[in-house]
Structures are given as C-alpha cells and as structure tokens.
Structure 1
Amino acid sequence: MEDNQKTLNKLRDEMTAVNGDIINHLNHFFSISNKIGIIKDKMGLPHFDPVRESEMLNDILMKTRGPMPAEDMQRVFMEIFKVSVKEMGAGTRQKLKVSRHQGKGSKVINVGGVVIGNGIPVLIGGPCAVEYPEQVMKTATYLKNMGIRLLRGGAFKPRTSPYNFQGLGEEGLKILKEVATSLDMRVVTEVMSSEDIPLIEKYADILQVGTRNMFNYSLLKQIGKSRKPVLLKRGFMATIEEFILAAEYIYNGGNEEIILCERGIRTFETQTRNTLDISAIPILKKETSLPVIVDISHSLGRKDIVLPIAHAALAAGADGLVFESHFNPAAAWSDAQQQLDMKETEELIRYLEKYFKF
C-alpha cells in the first residue's frame, strides 16, 4: 500500500511537471498566433482559415501515436485553435477606435442640449412613420409634455413588402422638422441610402442607420463623413463583434458621435418580434466607449411586456430607450400593434420614474 502511494505521488509530480510544460508550450503557441493575427489584420485577411486548420488537424492525426486516441487529440487541438482565433479578435478589438481603451472615458453626445451618455437615461419617442402633420403634432406634443425631447419618425420606410407604405420622403422630413422646431425637440430619422444623406441632414438632428443597413458598408462610410450624430441599430442577424465593427466604419470616416442601439436579433423564438439581447448592453458598454440605447418596440413587437423589459434594459446599463408611439395606434399606417398610445406612453414613463432619474 505504501509503495502504491509513493508511486502515485511520483506520477502526480510528473503530471504537474508536464502541466507546466503544456502551459509554456500553449503560451508560446498563443504568442505565435497573436503575431499571425497582426499580420492578417495588415493583409485584410480573416483570422479563421478553415483550410489551414484542416491541414494542422490532419498533421496532428498523422503524428498521434497514443495512448490518447487520435480523435480526442483532434478535439483538444480544435478547442485550442478556437480560443486562439478568439484571442486574435480580442487583440483586434482593443485596437479599434471605438474600443474602451484603458483610461478612455465614456462618450457623451450633446444633441442640441439633449445629452446622451452622461449617466442620465434619455427617452426617444414618436410614430413608426410620418403620416400627416396633425398625427405628428398630436403625438409629439404629448411626448414633449411628458418630458421627451427626442422625436423619432420614419420618412423613408424600409419595408419587407414592396406593397406596404414606404414613407412620405421629403414631405415627411419637413413635417418632422416643423413639428420639432415648434416644440423645441430634436429629430431622429432613418437614412436608407448614401444619396439621401445631404437631404436628410437638412432636417434631422440624429441620422439613424436601420437594422437592414448595418451591413451596408458603403452607407456607413458615407455616414462617417457627416457631422451629425448617428444612431446605429444592430443588424437583426449580427453578432456583437460585427455590430462593433460596423460602428468602426463610421468612426473611421471621422464621425465619432455614434450611439449604438440594441434592437433585438432574430432567433427561433416567436413570442416576440425579435429576441432582445439584454447581455449585449453591458458587453457593448465594456467593449466600447459609445453610449448604448435599446429599442423596446422593434425588439418586442408587442406592448403588454414593455414595462418590465424597459426596466431591465435600463437596469442593465442602457443610456436610454427608443420606442414607437402614436396618438391613435389603431389607425396607424404601419406597426400598429407595437406603437404605444398616449395613455400607455404615460404609464411607461411614470413607471420608469419610480426607479430612474430622467
């Protein structure tokens, strides 16, 4: 028994020594892979190369002589490769201009006296689409009386069906601007194409890039040349990393006034229009220095759970909320089911005021 214990202790000592060797070799491996990542960044190549990984796994299979089964050895190395690619990406993110470098403070954006990102949440409300002057004026007046100073509304509407209402175009922009000016509010509206930027800049205080255009890199580059703040919505099929890189396109153009908007992503769940990624809020705040707001209308597509979701978003660290509201949603020309009426809007604001300072 005593001999067995001595042998066991000796084997454990050998294993500890081997662990040290593995750690040293892994650190050497990651040192090399990080250098490869830097070179790939300079060459504009993706970090993950499936062909190269397949070659390395085949080489490992040929060299494995046991006792560890070759398939298990491959799985171990596949995990090592996966982590190494992840580390390459982490290194790249730290070099991004939008990243939260050590000592870099949070970005604060002032939109005509409305401050976003200073620790006090902001609310952005308004109709899904601009329909006619009275609709915008009635809705905006009520919102202003509730303390909201950022007015959203679509003049150009990206719709899934070409037969749905597409927006009033410049006429809608004029209505938005006239109403906002009369009420001392600021306009947030969507830009759908690069050609429309000069036109929309005449009327809008914040240019919105919608979820369908997050991957429209030519538009992002042009938006980057604008001096207007940009509200960038996460693509409904985009990862957080892709979202951050989309913001980098705008930043590289010279526009540092970027507001990130989490608006839900597409999953297999059908109870809501999209699945709101609450975890994205603290991750984006950790990874970037940009303010983050949450769209509680497009993420949900329903009104009965707006209050707890809005509460959760702000509790997770969001710098504000954007929601759709209409003085008469039943008669709305688009997204009637998710637009709050005036009573529901007041209920939302009064509820949030119990927990947050606006």
Structure 2
Amino acid sequence: MIIMQPGATREQISTVIDRVHANRMEAHTNVGTRQTIIGVVGDRHNVPADQFESLPNVQSVEPVLKSYELASRQFHPENSVFSLGGFTIGGDEIPVIAGPCSVESRQQILETAQAVKEAGANALRGGVFKPRQSPYSFQGLGEEGLEYMAEARALTGLPLVVEVMAESQLPLMSKYVDMLQIGARNMQNYSLLRAVGETHIPVLLKRGLSATIDDLLNAAEYILFGGNNRVVLCERGIRTFETATRNTTDINAIPVLKSLSHLPVVLDPSHSTGHTSFVSAVAKAAVAAGADGIIVEVHPDPEHAFSDGQQSLKPEEFARLVKQVKAVAEAVDRTLVPEETPFFPNGVING
C-alpha cells in the first residue's frame, strides 16, 4: 500500500502507478479527502519497497496485513458510499429492500411492488432464477420474470435487486437489473465473482452458509479486483448446531465487518431466522448494531408462495416493521431513506 503525501499531483500519482505496472502488478487508486492511497496487488516478493519510497511525494509504503487488500479499511479508511437509484448505501440513511423470494406472476410482483413502496421500501427484490435444493422445485420464470420486474420498476420507481446464478446470465441481467445479488451458495463461485467484478453493476454479496467473515471479505475482494467497487456485504445467517431457526443470525458480523472493511453491510432477517415471527425483532437488532440496510421478503399471500412462504411477511406486517425500524434508527442517530426518492442511474459517491 503506497500512501501519497497530501497535495501530490496527478503526474506524481501517475508516475507511481506506472512503476507498479512496470513490475507486473495491479494498481488500485483510492482518492480520499486528504490524500491518495494506491493499493498494489500482485507478486511483491521481489519488489523492494524503496523502489516506490524514492518517488516524488510518496509518504510511505506499508504492508497490507489482510489477504483482502482492496476490501480492507487499511486501503480505504473512509466508508464507501454509493447510489442505487435515488438513494445512497453506506451513509447515514438506511435503505430498506423488500419483495418476494420468487417472481411468480405479473400480478403477484406488481401487487407486491406497490405494497412495499407504499410501506416505505426503497428497492424491490425478487428472484427469477432460483437455486433450489431439489431440481423438481420451482426454478423461477427467467426473462419473463425480469420483464415483470421491469414493469414493476416503471410503476413504482423502485430499483431492482435480482440474484444472478451463472456467468451466462449476466448479459440478460445487465439489461434489466440495478443491483446483482450473489446468493449464499455462490459466495465462493470465484469465476462468477470475477465476471460480476467486470460488469460495474452494484453487487449485494451474501455470506455463505458456513463462511467465516474472512471468507466473505475475500469473496468481495474478487469483485473489487475486477474493478467493481460498488459492493454491499450481506449477513444472512450461518449454519450452526441450532435448529430452532433456519439459520443463526450473526449480529456480531455487522460491527466486525464495519471495523474491518469500508464496504456497506446489510442484514437479511428473513433468511437468517426462517420464521415471520422473528423477522421484525432481528431487523431492529440489525439497525441497532449499525447495519447500513435491511433486505426483507414480502409476499401478498405467503401461505401459497412458491418458495420461502414461511419467512415472508404480509404487506401489513412489513409496514409495521418499517415503522419500528425507523424508530430504532432514530434512536441511534440515523434515519431511514425518505420514501419519496427520485430514480436516477447508479453512480459512485464515495466508493
């Protein structure tokens, strides 16, 4: 990690980057409010530090102690903040993402989108390709589902968060979605992570069922290394010996991740508990612990949902959750994203 002196010129920064490339390494530049930090990625064993220390306006050359270099706070001390539609993730305002596990029909997704919008949601989630345990379970509507999601966006103004399962789906997804979701089962699908890193579409990266925090951050590193710095980490519960809930919510992960990484952190209380009766409590706990957002499953008729009905809130239950989460956010000196936010193309604010 090469730290430049405050006031270093573009030419001096370019000189350092050229030297990095001359040594067959990659340079990732973080321009902060006071100074610029250049993250050097690659085989550094035979490259002496004084080769960079002698360059004009280089303050110091420091080793990165973590295997995830670009995701670490050492490389990027400030929180990453970027926009999704008309709101930001990673700042003081907390967005709420909501929608069904699966897009089942045009009527179902349009009804859900309108309901969650009225309740205060800022983005719409919905699966169109579903990773199911059994090959005979509902696998999603594919592009037909994406068309329904796009119609819901046009109706409500809510940006779309949709899970991608394979590299081959990326060209199709890029035509429709505003944020790609990497599911828990694909968290360590490194070829998919690399491909998503090249898209520059915002990414919601879910923690794997048995993944450590280091595993999650190293998975994020693959996306960041590809050049995509709009990555959101998602705690969604991990598999433990406990069977009272679907998974065990690791609330610890929220403050730990935020101490180790500059990336925004959200929590999924639906998958982490697996039961509608526990979703609200865990969502409030997440905000109190410092989460930068929550993602919740909502369905107009959970009893007849094609998937995950047992953990999906009804629209009226979701509306109550939003009001309660808002109160918790205000108690910890934060606020929810205002309900009326204009939709505009995604852009980096500080990422």
Q: TM-score, normalised by structure 2?
A: 0.75
Deviation, 1:322, is 0.4
Counterpart of 2:65 in structure 1: which amino acid? G
Secondary structure class of the residue paired with 1:290: coil
Q: CA deviation at 1:185?
A: 0.7
Report the CA distance shift for 1:270/1:43 in structure 2 as closer, same or farther (over 3 A). Answer: farther
What residue is the counterpart of 1:13 in the other structure?
none
Matched, 1:347 2:341: no
Contact 2:179 2:203 in 1 (8 A): yes
Of the structure 1 ranges 170-179 and 111-120, higher mean CA displacement relative to structure 2 is found in 111-120
2:201 match: 228
**1:198 aligns to what?**
171
Deviations 1:271-329 (A, max 9, x none): 11011111111111010000000001011000112222111111111001001001111
1:91: which partner in 2?
Answer: 65
Q: Secondary structure at the match of 1:196?
A: helix
Give the secondary structure class of the aligned counterpart of 1:231: strand
- C-alpha spacing 1:43/1:115, structure 2 compared with 1 (3 Å): closer
Distance 2:259 2:109 in 1: 37
Q: Which residue does the alignment assign to 1:295?
A: 268
For residues 253 and 339 of structure 1, what CA distance do their matches in structure 2 show?
34
Q: Larger relative contact order (C-alpha < 8 A, sep ≥ 6)?
A: 2
Q: Distance in 2 between the 1:226 and 1:305 partners?
A: 36
Tell me the residue number matched to 2:241: 268
Which is higher, the Rg of structure 1 or of structure 2? 1
The correspondence for 2:79, drawn from 93, 102, 106, is 106
- Partner SS for 2:109: helix
Q: Distance in 2 between matches of 1:221 and 1:242?
A: 15
* Matched residue SS, 1:92: coil
Listed as ranges, the gaps of 5+ residues in structure 2 are 1-41, 46-62, 330-334, 337-351
SS at match of 1:91: coil
One of 226, 242, 256 as aligned partner of 2:215: 242
Task: Tell me the CA shift for residue 141 of structure 1.
Answer: 0.3
* Structure with the bigger percentage of strand: 2
Q: Distance in 1 between matches of 2:71 and 2:191?
A: 19
Code of the aligned partner of 1:196: Q
Q: Which residue of 1 aligns with 2:298?
A: 325
Whole-angstrom distance in 2 between the partners of 1:227 and 1:43 = 27
Deviations 1:25-62 (A, max 9, x none): xxxxxxxxxxxxxxxx9499xxxxxxxxxxxxxxxxxx
Cα distance in 2 for partners of 1:232, 1:214 equals: 7
Of the candidates 173, 176, 192, which is equivalent to residue 219 of structure 1? Answer: 192
After TM superposition, list the pairs within 5 Å mapping 1:113-262 onto structure 2. Answer: 113-262=86-235
In the aligned structure 2, how far is the partner of 1:103 from the partner of 1:309? 29
In 2, the alpha carbon distance for the partners of 1:277 and 1:107 equals: 22
> Which whole-Å CA distance do the structure 1 matches of 2:275 and 2:187 have between them?
24
The C-alpha deviation readout for 1:243-292, integer Å capped at 9, x for no partner, is 00000000000000000000011001001101111111111101000000
Question: Alignment length, in residue pairs?
Answer: 273
Q: Structure 1 or 2: larger helix share?
A: 1
> What secondary structure is seen at the aligned counterpart in 2 of 1:106?
coil
* Structure 1 segments of 4+ aligned residues over 3 angstroms from their partners: 41-44
TM-score, normalised to structure 1, is 0.74
Structure 2 distance, partners of 1:157, 1:43, is: 41
SS at match of 2:263: coil
The Cα shift of 1:342 comes to 1.1
Q: Which amino acid aligns with 2:160?
A: V
Where 1:305 maps in the other structure, the secondary structure is helix
Say if 2:64 and 2:74, in contact at 8 Å, map to a contact too. no
